Structure 1
Amino acid sequence: MKMLKIVAFKLGEEEYGLDIDQVQSIERIDHITRVPNAPSYVKGVINLRGKVNPIIDLRSKLNLGQAQYTENTRVIIVKYEDIDLGLIVDHTSDVIDVEPESIEMISSSSFNADYFRGIAKVEGRLIILIKLAELMKSTTD
């Protein structure tokens, strides 16, 4: 099995990861234009290089409370189907190679495991891997 490359980021004290193939870029948080009647986790839209991208507060989407935006806050621009959208995270860490066998599945009884692919154990770190498609599916329902 081939190595998985992930972009690691933090939400609070926990570390999460997204498959690097889904990540377009990582941006500083910029002016976000609010959109009326959007769900609470949709912060609005930004104009990035001439394209309008919806912005989702990942903390809010995962019910992790409200984020305090700081110098370290970043927007990870991801591609989902034909849409580029931004995910607000507290802090991006690095790009990591993950051995597929170092990923443990999560039992779904404890919380909504649909959004998560498993937990990668890398150099003493536990990184929760996000399934972008599942997360976005529940956003568009």
Structure 2
Amino acid sequence: MSILLQEQYIEIVLGKAYYALATQEVDKIIKMQTIFDTPEDNSYLRGFIYLREKAIPVISLRTLFGMTEEVFTPATRIIIHKHHRESIGFIVDQVNKVSVYENIQPVRDKLGTVKGTYFKGTTNRDGVPVGVLNMNEIVAHA
């Protein structure tokens, strides 16, 4: 008997928009913590956090996506993504839930106002559009 495994996604919220990334692309999800400034002049890089005595750069997905600057709330989280053995943190407004999507469609030039290459595709959950993130492309441009 074969078992069909469906890929699971962690659904996140930025502003009023919903996005998702594959669970295997997530190392940890942590509560917001102190971000230490960096001398670099990169509008997406908010600074660094220290996690288990290791400095991890933290990127603002809102800024990268051209949204207004975030206001941190108790729901704000940092998603730790492993990229070629390096950890990178991404600030999100909220982690919503783990989902399985049946039908992921390709994205054209843009999804809303966000560059289309940042997405593997788009789907919807209960009539709400969800952009499936392409983390390799996001890391390459951050």
Matched, 1:130 2:110: no
Q: Which amino acid aligns with 2:108?
A: S
Matched, 1:53 2:56: yes
Q: Which residue of the partner structure matches residue 25 of structure 1?
A: 28
Matched, 1:104 2:83: no
Match of 1:88 among 71, 82, 91: 91
SS of corresponding position for 2:138: helix
TM-score after normalising by structure 1? 0.90
Matched, 1:113 2:116: yes
Q: Give the Å deviation of 1:77.
A: 0.7
Q: Give the Å deviation of 1:51.
A: 1.6
Matched, 1:39 2:39: no
Paired-residue identity, %: 27
Q: Which amino acid aligns with 1:106?
A: V
Q: Give the Å deviation of 1:41.
A: 1.1
Cα distance in 2 for residues equivalent to 1:44 and 1:50: 15
| Structure 1 gaps, min length 5 | none
Deviates more, 1:54-63 or 1:110-119: 110-119
Q: Give the Å deviation of 1:121.
A: 2.0
TM-score after normalising by structure 2? 0.89
1:31/1:96 CA distance change after superposition, 3 Å: same
Q: Give the Å deviation of 1:117.
A: 1.0
Cα distance in 1 for residues equivalent to 2:51 and 2:130: 29
Q: Give the Å deviation of 1:2.
A: 4.6
| Structure 2 gaps, min length 5 | none
1:92-136 CA distance string (max 9 Å, x none): 10111122xx11111116752111111122333321111000111
